[in-house]
């Protein structure tokens, strides 16, 4: 299931300022788990691997 839009926004903000976020070929990924930020932050049961969200 998808997380609600406020939660998605909150997560994406945290990732945007996270030094562990990398961007390659225009795609933002989490350096720790390798997941694309765009989809990872939308899924309700996903979590940040270092406990930021
Ligand atoms: S998921 Fe966590 S560790 Fe990965 S980029 Fe986002 S805030 Fe940083």
Q: Each residue of 1-53: pLDDT tens digit?
A: 999 999 999 999 999 999 999 999 999 999 999 999 999 999 999 999 999 99
Residue 35: Cβ-neighbour burial (10 angstroms; 0-12, 13-18, 19+): middle
User: Token pair of 10, please?
Assistant: 């909150």
Ligand 1 in contact with 13 (CB < 6 A)? no
Q: What's the pLDDT score for residue 8? A: 98
Q: Is 15 in the pocket of ligand 1 (CB under 6 A)?
A: yes
Query: What pTM was computed for the model?
Result: 0.94
> What distance in angstroms lies between residue 25's CA and the mean position of ligand 1's atoms?
18
């Amino acid at each position: 299931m998808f997380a609600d839009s406020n939660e998605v926004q909150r997560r994406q903000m945290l990732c945007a300022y996270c030094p562990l976020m990398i961007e390659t070929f225009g795609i933002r990924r989490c350096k720790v788990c390798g997941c694309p930020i765009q989809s990872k932050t939308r899924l309700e049961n996903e979590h940040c691997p270092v406990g930021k969200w």
